[in-house]
Amino acid sequence: MHTRPLTASGQALYRVFIRPELSVSPISINTKSFPPPQPWQRQPIPHSHHRAFSHTPRVGFKVRAPVNRTQLYDEEIASQTVLVVDEAGKLQAPQTRFDVLRSFDRKTHHLVQVSPPSPSGDPPTCKILSKQSLREAERAKQKALTKKTPEQTTKQLELNWAIDSNDLGHRMKRMKEFLEQGKKVEVVLAGKRQGRKASLTEAQEVVRAIRERAEEVEGVKEWKKMDGKVGAMATLFFEGKRKST
């Protein structure tokens, strides 16, 4: 397709009507003609990364005590009214928990609930205690819990009815040492499979000697009746006095 050249009259019409529409000059705005914004028109810039926290607990907000502590401190006390026991042990008139917390230095002391509210509606009873005394009481409590009571072990001595005096004396010395340590001692008596057999009188004398040596230790008792038969198989049960720790 061939484009026909414009005539002189066509070029004149093009310059008058078409070309001005293709070249539009930018509009200039005079900002000086607008008044400055007023203070009430200025909007504050939100700071989403800043958040304010209140140090005062909300009304009805429940603060829980740590799991390893049973007593309630300060804001952990749910009641808004408390009874305070002073240093002289006198119960004061009911006060608001808020006023009590403002009456002492909270850096060094705590308001401690010592008894819960009564079923009749009386406020909980509290004391103002120093943090140092609370720490010392907690350490003493933990020490008492972790302090292990030594278990009373049981020792066993085996003797035969036909035992000679020297061997019996050695065994009785061991028995007394165990009993003096507060231990239990089981003396097992039996006859030899081979060798001399003890008579009934000799067997009874061995039992008597064992009991006499055991009684020489202060506080020893025969805590259980002899099990078995003299001259056959028998066990004597002694218990030493436990030492106080």
Q: What CATH number is associated with residue 204?
A: 3.30.110.10
Please check whether residue 12 lies inside any domain of the structure: no
Cα distance between residue 146 and residue 8, in whole Å: 116
In the chain, how many domains are there? 2
Percent of the chain with pLDDT over 70: 68
Considering only CA atoms, which of 221, 206, 215, 220 is closest in space to residue 171?
Answer: 206
Closest of 125, 173, 181 to residue 153, by C-alpha: 181
The residue out of 146, 164, 183 marking a domain boundary is 146
Task: Let me know whether 159 and 195 are in one domain.
Answer: yes
Residues 176 and 111 in one domain: no
Structural domain containing residue 166: 154-239
pLDDT of residue 57: 46
State which of 146, 170, 192 marks the end of a domain.
146
Same domain, 115 and 183: no
Q: Based on the domain organization, do 132 and 158 belong to the same domain?
A: no
Are 219 and 188 in the same domain? yes
**Same domain assignment for residues 162 and 235:** yes
Question: Is 77 among the domain residues?
Answer: yes
Do residue 172 and residue 214 come from a single domain?
Answer: yes
Min mean pLDDT across 16-25, 74-83, 99-108, 128-137 is at: 16-25
For residues 126 and 180, state if they share a domain: no
DSSP-derived pairing of the beta strands 154-160 and 95-96: unpaired
In-domain check, residue 49: no
Q: What is the CATH number of the domain that holds 80?
A: 3.10.20.80
Q: Answer with the one of 146, 164, 181 that is the final residue of a domain.
A: 146
48 DSSP assignment: T
Is 126's pLDDT higher than 80? yes
pLDDT single digits (tens) 153-190: 789 999 999 999 899 999 999 999 999 999 999 999 98
Q: How far is CA 137 from CA 66, 96, 179, 198, in A?
A: 17, 27, 37, 63
161 and 233 housed in the same domain:
yes
Q: Output 29 or 126, whichever has higher pLDDT.
A: 126
Q: Which residue, 150, 176, 168, is CA-closest to 205?
A: 168
Angstrom distance (rounded) from CA 178 to CA 174 = 6
Least confident of 12-26, 70-84, 185-199: 12-26
pLDDT digits (tens, 9 = 90+) for 21-57: 555 555 555 555 556 655 555 555 554 444 444 444 4
* Whether residues 85 and 133 fall in one domain: yes
| 24-40 exposure pattern, b = at least 16 Cβ within 10 A, e = fewer | eeeeeeeeeeeeeeeee
